[in-house]
Amino acid sequence: MKIKKFLLIFVTPLLLNIQTSLADDAKMIKGLEIFNETAACAACHVLKAAGSEGNVGPNLDTVEGLNYDSVMDIVTHGLGVMPAFGEDEILTKEQIEIVSFYVANSAGK
Ligand code: HEC
């Protein structure tokens, strides 16, 4: 009984934690690939973490208030010259979530 309680209280959260950070690492790797290759965001945007130097759109390292939701929104619906990756079905919803996670977590780094 005591051991079960110990496992439940201490070991389970630890395992869950490891699982989430592994999933996050995988998203960062996949997100970089989408940014540079699949969606070619790199062709239009500077993002130091991705080594990209495109200058059609704004430098993503210096955009103020950039976060996961704002990236999701613009990648889905596009704006001006920027394609609507979601509406035009260039990327799947999952790919948009992954690339947005990647950009939100690497901009300015
Ligand atoms: C064909 C060039 C092009 C491509 C490809 C492109 N963008 Fe953009 N992006 C732009 C332009 C231009 C703007 C500015 C739009 C405006 O304000 O009219 C922009 C704006 C943005 C913004 C908002 C910046 C701000 O000032 O709020 C984000 C975030 C962004 N792009 C991320 C991405 C991501 C992620 C991808 C890949 C999935 C991508 N872009 C692909 C051209 C592009």
Per-residue pLDDT of 35-83, as tens digits, reads: 999 999 999 999 999 999 999 999 999 999 999 999 999 999 999 999 9
84: pLDDT strictly greater than 90: yes
45 CA to centre of ligand 1 in angstroms:
7
Closest-CA residue to 84 (of 39, 37, 43, 52): 39
37 CA to centre of ligand 1 in angstroms:
15
59 CA to centre of ligand 1 in angstroms:
9
Question: What is the atom index within ligand 1 of the atom nearest the CA of 85?
Answer: 38
pLDDT of residue 1: 63
- 42, 99 Cβ separation under 8 angstroms: no
28: pLDDT strictly greater than 90: yes
Q: Is the CB of 57 under 6 A from ligand 1?
A: yes
pLDDT of residue 7: 84
pLDDT of residue 70: 98
Question: What is the atom index within ligand 1 of the atom nearest the CA of 40?
Answer: 5
Q: How far apart are CA 63 and CA 107, in angstroms?
A: 8
Q: How far apart are CA 46 and CA 72, in angstroms?
A: 18
Question: What is the atom index within ligand 1 of the atom nearest the CA of 71?
Answer: 29
Task: State mean pLDDT over 86-107.
Answer: 98
